[in-house]
Structure 1
Amino acid sequence: MAKYVIIGGVAGGATAAARLRRLDEHAEIIMFERGQYISYANCGLPYYIGDTIKEREKLLVQTPESFKARLNVDVRVLQEVMKINRAEKTVEIKNHATGESYVESYDKLIVSPGAEPVRPPIEGINHASIFTLRNVHDTDKIKAFCNEKKPRRAVVIGAGFIGLEMAENLHELGMDVTIVEMANQVMAPLDYEMAAEVHQHLKTKNVEFYLKDGVNAFQPVADHLKVVLQSGREIETELVILSIGVRPETKLVKDAGLELAENGGIKVNEYLQTNDENIYALGDAIAFPHPITGKYVNTYLAGPANKQGRIVADNVVTGNTRTYKGAIATAIAKVFDITVASTGMAAKTLKKEGIDYISSIIHGSSHAGYYPGAMPYTLKILFQPKTGKLFGAQMIGYEGVDKRIDLVATVLMKNGTIYDLQEIEHAYAPPYSSAKDPVNQAGFVAENILMGRLKVITWREASKLDSRNICLLDVRTPEEHELGHIEGSINIEVDKIRERLAEVPRDKKIIVYCGVGLRGYIAARVLMQNGITEVYNLSGGYKTYEHTTGKQSNEDIFESSYIAHDSNIYRGKPVEKIAAANFKTIEVDACGLQCPGPILKLKSEVANLKPGERLLQKASDPGFMKDVQSWCNMTGNKLISLDSKAGIISAVIEKGEEKKAASGGATIANLPQNKTMVVFSDDLDRALASMVIANGAASTGKDVTMFFTFWGLNVIKKQEKPKVEKDFMGNMFGKMMPDNAGSLKLSKMNMFGMGSMMMKKRMLSKKVDSVEDMIKTALDNGVRMIACQMSMDVMGVSKEELIDGVEIGGVATYLEETEKSNLNLFI
């Protein structure tokens, strides 16, 4: 009779034990688990904490008793294997319940030690309010803490899949949630432009998050904890969840002399066998060659672990008859209202590995647009330039993301190509899909690229091009262009491009863009077939460009929170509730419409209202969240409320009053309302003052123009400037003046630079943006910045040295703006 010993339960070990029994009824099977639970729904733990899963028992898939009764497996919990003696084929065990130690022999040994959470040596990291989440025991501690202490604020360190799931569930419990992430994006398996969509969604949920920042210390203060970040910021909280990552737990096997891969995982062959023929390994702790790169990687996912358990059991009982092909790390997560999924390799990984690739981004609807409830998605695929072999995919959306990523993963695991995506036959009916499913559509677009019918350019590539050598062509409607566009682009609507071909320059590279890419493709084909060959379509269109080039982090959103008499935390300033008025409100459904559909629908419906009447419009296009605010500001209508739930954006708009004539015959609308200022100084304090005033004015909806002249030009210089040919005096001035906004000095108490350093540190501690961030915010808010041409000539400053978005002009340009202003400052 064979004797099989298994170290570790949960996904891999428990699956192997169950399969072993089904294959060999008479074998002796012993499973050791140092914890109390052998088989539980690890991935469901965050949802139990957030009360989505109400009953704790539902997390427990199997118990020692149920395993014994049904499978006759000897399960020994709270017993830890301390040593493997390979020569004797024995293991030494310590019973944590009794304290005794003993030895058990084996014929075949299966090790599934799993992974342990990373817990770096940070000051205060062992505080009682700081938790990791890896097992049921961790879950019980967090749940008990939340029930007993009732924390109002929580900080999640790390923005991976588990970190974001925890952020959502703590948010569902009513806490103000802050995420801190060292990288420049959330969810490392995603490429930056895809993660940017997640960033924007988190903002709609009032989740505060800091990117490119880490933790220096955890400091107890009275009844809460202070999280001190590397940037100097301090966050007060009552609860911290560490989700920094995990690493293979391999000390036991390493001490036994089993071979480890370079990445620290247990090295196994295609049969999941270690360098000891009697010992097999599986789960989070193993390292196996990646199907694409061939390099050893770890895969921290339950799906592969379960499959490995079945393969190992077969090989243990029947000899090495089944092989493991590796995992492409197909993963999915719910992040509030959206679903985020990935499979295979990301662009950044392919680039790191030196693998040549092409990427393509498409946007569309989850099902036929004419059937109610269609929801938007974004799908990115990566493939080999010549053969079209698939390397990976990422998808974000509200519905149907799971089935699409599974289809792509199946093709990828079969070493398939973009042509296989085209040929996938899917179940189609209007409530579920379109005749051309998103996966098919991704394959069609990829083929157009490979066949040369379409040249694509990414947002990152486009941003690096010299603006003098390109022409940005916006082929959306004028209304869309007015709501937001890429700086410097010209607007020719796609339906009119044939009659306006003469306006498109033939001596420049043409970068065409629309909302999501489809109209851009049509326009590109028209141009290419009319002799304009250097035409590129912006991948993902303006939607992807806007997401990626906008501000990514979401800091300090809880600054104005307050606790009301009902002990709940409310955001904003405490105000009296206005009694419900007798407003006529009509409801308009614009769900399923893609930009500019929702705005055009809004425009036509509001035109039918009388002043004071209200309209509730619902839309599924995420861009509507921003567009409706801009539209109301531009048209004089009032945005009463704006909300997003389950992917549906609801906006209530009140039609504005007609402007009445003021004395003298002028209308209120015609009175000067804008703000202008001349920035003459490059002192840090004066530059800060100018930016604070400009951003404040812009936030009220006023047009702001800043005219930078002489020393003020130093405020708007790039941090990384290209090499520029200058004359002798230009070089001299350049060496004597500040290099950029980060080099500015204080007008008083500068103390050889110490003063400005102290000021910047003070600003960080008080959570005041740097002057560089304020400049970016001002440009994002539409503040117009003009550099004086005459001053540039005198000071030897070239256009290439100035930050993107700054215009070049003279006094007349500035004076024209002052005519429209009721405030003009000189700083």
Structure 2
Amino acid sequence: MSKYLIIGGVAGGATVAARLRRLDEQAEIIMFERGAHISYANCGLPYYIGDVIKDREKLLLQTPESFKARLNVEVRVFNEVVKIDRENKAVVVRNVETGEEYTESYDKLVLSPGAEPIKPPISGIKDPSIFTLRNVVDTDKVKAYCNDHQPKRAVVVGAGFIGLEMAENLHHLGMKVSIVEMAKQVMAPLDYEMAAVVHQHLKTKQVEFFLKDGVTSFKREGGVLNVTLQSGRQIETDLVILSIGVKPENKLAREAGLELAPNGGIIANEYLLSNDENIYVLGDAMAFPHPITGKLSNIYLAGPANKQGRIVADNIVSGNTRKYKGAIATAIAKVFDITVASTGIPEKTLKNEMMPYTANIIHGASHAGYYPDALPYTLKILFHPENGKLYGAQMIGYEGVDKRIDLIATVLKQGGSIYDLQDIEHAYAPPFSSAKDPVNQAGFAAENIVSGKLKIVSWDEIHNFHSENIVLLDVRTAAENELGHIEGSVNIPVDDLRGRLDELPKDKKIIVYCGVGLRGYIACRILTQSGFSEVYNLSGGYKTYEHSICKQSNEDIFEANYITKNDHIYRGKADNGQEVIEGAAVKTIQVDACGLQCPGPILKLKQEIENIKPGERLEQIATDMGFMKDVKSWCNMTGNKLVSVSAEKGKVKALIEKGKKQEESSKKTSAAPAKNKTMVVFSDDMDRALASLVIANGAAAMGSKVTLFFTFWGLNVIKKSDKPHVEKDIMSKMFGSMMAKDAGDLKLSKMNMMGVGAKMMKKRMLAKKVDSLEDMLQTAMENGVQMIACQMSMDVMGVDKEELMEGVEIGGVATYLEEADQSNLNLFI
């Protein structure tokens, strides 16, 4: 009779035990688990905390008693294996409750110890309101704390899949949730521009999040826990969830001399054997060559662990007959209303591995647009630029994301290509899909690129283009262009393009963009077949570009919150800053723009608002999430009032009140001339910077709204004196070496005398009791002077947001021009 020991009783270990019994009725099978529970649904833990799953018992799939009764497997909970004696094929076990140790022999040993949460040595991390979430015991502690203390505010440290699931569930309980993430994005398996979609969705849910920032300390002050960040910010909270990440639990394996990977995983061969022929390994602790890169990697997912368990059991009983092919890390998560999924490897990994690849992004709807409630999606695939071999995919949407990522993962796991995506036969009816499913569409678009019918550029490539030899061509409608466009582009709608070809130079590179990429492709084909040789389409269109370049983080949105003695949270000012209208009911009409893609919702709004009277309201619902931003801009441009806008389950609902007639608005404007002042600060000469701030502070003191737009060398004026370390490319470092470090390092435009003149000026100002430049900057901030740093200049000069003073906004020329349009004084310094 064979004797099998299994260390670890969750997904992988429990699967091995069950399969072993089905294959070998006579074997002695013992499973050790140092905790209290086995075979529990750890993926469901966040949803139990958030009261989405009400019944705790539903998380417990098996118990030691049920395992014994049905499978005749002896389960020893609260028993921790503390040593493996490979020579004598035995383990040393400690009873966690009594401390007693004993030895158990084996014929075959299975290691499924899982992974452990990372808890960095941060000051104050042992506060009783700080938790990790890895097992049922952790879950019970968090649940009990929430029930007993009724926390109003929560901080989630780490924005991976589990971190965002926890953020959503704490939000579901009514807490104000803040997320802190050291990386520049959430959800590491996603590429940046895909994570940007998640960032914008989190904003619609009023979740506060800090990117490129980490926790330096926790400090208890009475009933409040203060969380201090690397940026110097402090967040007051009642509860902290640490979701920084996990690492393989390898102590036993390391001490037993089993071979480990550089990342700490226990190396397994194709039969899931360690370097000991009697010890198998699986689950989170195992390192195995990735099917695409060939590099040893860990896959922290329940699905692969269960499949590995079945293979291990078969090989133990049948003598290593089944081979494991590896996992491609297919993962999915619900983040509030959206579904986020990925499979294979992201673009950043392909870059690091220096593998040749092409990436393309498409946008579309979850099903036929003419059927109600077609919701948007974004799909990115990565493939070999010549043969089309598939490397990976990422998808974000509201419906049908799971089935699409599963289809792509199946092709990817079989070593397939973009051509296999085209050939997938899917079930089609208008409520479920389109005749050409998104997966097919991704394959068709990729073929156009591989075959040379289309050249593409990505959002980050176009964002860095500033050349006289490049023409940016916007082929959207004029109305779309007015709502937002890439700086420096010319607008020729695609339907007018054939008649206006003579307006475009044939000796320059032409980069075409539209809303999502389709009209851009049509325009590229027109141009390419009309004698234009260097024509490129913007992958993902303006939608991806706009998501990627706009502000990603969502800091300090709870700054005005305070908790009163009645234990309720209040704000120091209105949530949306809009006037609340009370009194008589206002006539409101409803407009359904669902299924329409940009600019459809705006055109529909423009058409319908003509049919109502000033003062009446129009409520429009759209499934294009870009409508949430566009409707604000449209109202600002047209003189109509945006009463409210919200997003829920993939639908944007906007309430617009029709403004007075344009001629009346014009009279009102002329009767009250603007008092605003704007200045472009181009220079970093100390005396010119002083002049701009003297004028700004004087104007602010007289009641004017003042905006300073810092561009090129002027960026040096608003740099922090204690800038954090920022990783930069070679060109950025070169520019940095030529630029002033901060306001205190500026030189005089005349008689600088290698810095002596600047020192003399500072000494003279001190003697005459004139504020220093640094003090003037602080005063300007306190006086409400708006300071905008030019995004384009920052990119060219290699200046990162983290180098700039707190309170400085990032914007483009359109932001400045909007302010200048409302000003009666505009200066260039």
Contact 2:708–2:788 (CA<8 Å) still a contact in 1?
no
Cα 1:278–1:587, aligned 2, differ >3 Å: closer, same or farther?
same
Displacement after TM superposition at 1:256 (Å)? 1.1
Q: Which of residues 586, 591, 594 in structure 2 aligns to 1:591?
A: 594
Q: TM-score, structure 1 length as denominator?
A: 0.87
What is the match of residue 581 of structure 1?
Answer: 584
* C-alpha deviation, 1:696, in angstroms: 14
Residues 253-277 of structure 1 deviation map (CA, whole Å, 9 limit, x = unaligned): 1111111122211111100011111
Q: Which residue is 2:636 aligned to?
A: 633
CA contact (8 A) 1:290 1:326 kept: yes
Residue aligned with 1:367, SS: coil
DSSP-derived class of the 2:468 partner: helix
**Which residue type is aligned with residue 305 of structure 1?**
A
Q: Alpha-carbon deviation of 1:467?
A: 2.8
Q: Residue in 2 aligned with 1:43?
A: 43
The range that moved more, 179-188 or 98-107, is: 98-107
Summarize deviations over 1:425-448 as a string: whole Å, max 9, x none. 000000000000000000000000
SS where residue 608 of structure 2 aligns? helix
What secondary structure sits across from 1:273 in the alignment? coil
Structure 1 residue 509: deviation in Å?
A: 0.7
For residues 13 and 328 of structure 1, the distance between their equivalents in structure 2, rounded to whole angstroms, comes to 21
Counterpart amino acid of 1:251? K
Between the aligned partners of 1:64 and 1:768, the Cα distance in structure 2 is 67
Question: Contact between 2:151 and 2:175, CA under 8 Å: does it hold in 1?
Answer: yes
- Distance change (3 Å), C-alpha of 1:821 and 1:231: closer
Distance 1:143 1:503, change over 3 A: same
Q: How far apart are residue 574 of structure 1 and its match? A: 5.1
Query: Which amino acid in 1 is paired with 2:155?
Result: V
Cα-to-partner distance string for 1:567-622 (whole Å, 9 max, x where unaligned): 44355725996546321111111111110000001110101010111111011111
| Equivalent residues in 2 for 1:165-244, closer than 5 Å | 165-244=165-244
| Contact 1:110–1:281 (Cα < 8 Å) also in 2 | yes
Instruction: Identify the residue that residue 789 of structure 2 maps to in structure 1.
Output: 775
**Residue equivalent to 2:669:** 668
- Whether the 8 Å CA contact 1:20–1:314 is kept in 2: the answer is yes
Which residue of structure 2 aligns with residue 519 of structure 1?
Answer: 519
Residues 458 and 709 (structure 1), Cα distance of their counterparts in 2 relative to 1, 3 Å cut: closer
Question: Partner residue of 1:446?
Answer: 446
Task: State the 1:124 CA deviation.
Answer: 1.0
Paired residue secondary structure (2:530): coil
State the 1:779 CA deviation. 10
In the other structure, the counterpart of 2:26 is 26
Letter in 1 for 2:106: Y
Q: Cα–Cα, structure 1 residues 377 and 670, in superposed 2: closer, same or farther, change >3 Å? A: farther
Q: 1:84 to 1:670 in 2, by over 3 A?
A: same
Residue number among 607, 611, 621 corresponding to 1:608 in the alignment: 611
CA drift at 1:103: 1.1
Q: What's the offset of the Cα at 1:677? A: 3.1
- Conserved? CA contact 1:659–1:668, under 8 Å: no
* Residue in 1 that maps onto 2:94: 94
| Partner residue, 1:624 | 627
Find out whether 1:104 has 2:118 as its counterpart.
Answer: no
Residues 570 and 594 (structure 1 numbering): CA distance in 2 closer, same or farther, change over 3 Å? farther
Match of 2:494 in 1: 494
5 Å matches for 1:513-552?
A: 513-552=513-552
- 1:77 corresponds to: 77
CA distance in 2, matches of 1:512, 1:740: 39
Contact 2:709 2:788 in 1 (8 A): no
Distance in 2 (CA, whole Å) between partners of 1:594 and 1:696 is 46
**Preserved contact between residue 679 and residue 692 of structure 2 (Cα < 8 Å):** no
In the aligned structure 2, how far is the partner of 1:767 from the partner of 1:59?
A: 53
**2:661 aligned with 1:658, yes or no?**
yes
The answer on 1:677 being equivalent to 2:666 is no
Cα-to-partner distance string for 1:47-88 (whole Å, 9 max, x where unaligned):
011111111111101011111111111011001011111111
Q: Which amino acid aligns with 1:249?
A: E
Paired amino acid for 2:632: Q
Distance (whole Å) between structure 1 residues aligned to residue 716 and residue 210 of structure 2: 29
Instruction: Specify every segment of 5 or more residues in structure 1 that has no aligned partner in the other structure, as ranges.
Output: 725-730, 781-802, 808-812
Q: CA deviation at 1:741?
A: 7.1
Residues 447-506 of structure 1: per-residue CA shift (max 9 Å, x gap): 000111100000111122233121000000000000000000000000000001111121
Distance in 2, Cα, partners of 1:101 & 1:423: 60
Q: Aligned with 2:145: secondary structure?
A: helix
Q: Deviations over 1:212-263 (max 9, x none)?
A: 1111111111111111111111111111111111000000111111111222
| d(CA) in 2 for partners of 1:767, 1:281 | 61
Distance 1:308 1:580, change over 3 A: farther
Q: TM-score, normalised by structure 2?
A: 0.87
* Alpha carbons 2:330, 2:409 under 8 Å: kept: yes
Mapped partners of 1:208, 1:51: distance in 2: 22
Query: Which residue matches 1:795?
Result: none
2:590–2:618 Cα contact (<8 Å) kept: yes
Q: 1:139 to 1:711 in 2, by over 3 A?
A: closer
> Kindly tell me: are residues 268 and 722 of structure 1, through their superposed partners in 2, closer, same or farther at Cα, counting changes over 3 Å?
closer
Instruction: Identify the range of structure 1 (347-356 vs 258-267) with the bigger mean alpha-carbon deviation.
Output: 258-267
- Work out the CA distance in 1 between the residues paired with 2:662 and 2:373: 38
User: 2:68 aligns to what SS in structure 1?
Assistant: helix
What residue identity is the alignment partner of 1:233? R
CA 1:227–1:91 in 2, change beyond 3 Å: closer, same or farther?
A: same
Alpha carbons of structure 1 residues 295 and 768: separation in structure 2 relative to 1, 3 Å:
farther
Partner residue, 1:649: 652
Aligned residue identity for 1:93:
V
Deviations 1:765-819 (A, max 9, x none): x999999x84248999xxxxxxxxxxxxxxxxxxxxxx99569xxxxx99x9989
Q: Residue 361 of structure 1 contacts residue 539 of structure 1 at CA under 8 Å; is this kept in 2?
A: yes
SS of the aligned residue for 1:189 comes to: coil
What percentage of aligned pairs have identical amino acids? 68
Matched residue type, 1:284: D
Residue 821 (structure 1) shift: 3.8
**1:351-750 matched pairs, under 5 angstroms:** 351-563=351-563, 567-570=567-570, 573=573, 578-579=581-582, 581-658=584-661, 666=667, 668=669, 672-673=673-674, 675-678=676-679, 682=684, 715=717, 738=740
- Relative to structure 1, is the Cα distance of residues 767 and 115 closer, same or farther in structure 2, using a 3 angstrom cutoff? farther
SS at match of 2:93: strand
1:22–1:479 CA distance, 2 compared to 1 (3 A): same
Match in the other structure for 2:750: none
Contact 2:690–2:773 at 8 Å: present in 1 too?
Answer: no
* 1:164–1:423 CA distance, 2 compared to 1 (3 A): same
Code of the aligned partner of 2:91: V
Deviation at 1:560, TM superposition (A): 2.3
- Asked if the contact 1:556/1:767 (under 8 Å) is kept, the reply is no
Q: RMSD over aligned Cα, in angstroms?
A: 3.7
Q: Deviations over 1:537-579 (max 9, x none)?
A: 0000000000111111111111223457974435572599654
Unaligned runs of 5+ in 2: 721-725, 748-757, 795-809
1:658 maps to amino acid: K
Contact 1:695/1:778, CA 8 A, preserved across alignment = no
SS, match of residue 93 in structure 1:
strand
- Aligned partner of 2:799 in structure 1 is none
Change (3 A) 1:741 1:174: farther
Residue type matched to 2:197 in 1?
E
Indicate conservation of the 8 Å contact 2:475/2:493, yes or no: yes
**What's the secondary structure of 1:497's corresponding residue?**
helix
Residues 625 and 652 of structure 2 are in contact (CA less than 8 Å); yes or no, is this contact kept in structure 1? yes
Aligned partners of 1:819 and 1:96: how far apart in 2?
Answer: 72
Give the AA of the match of 1:399.
E
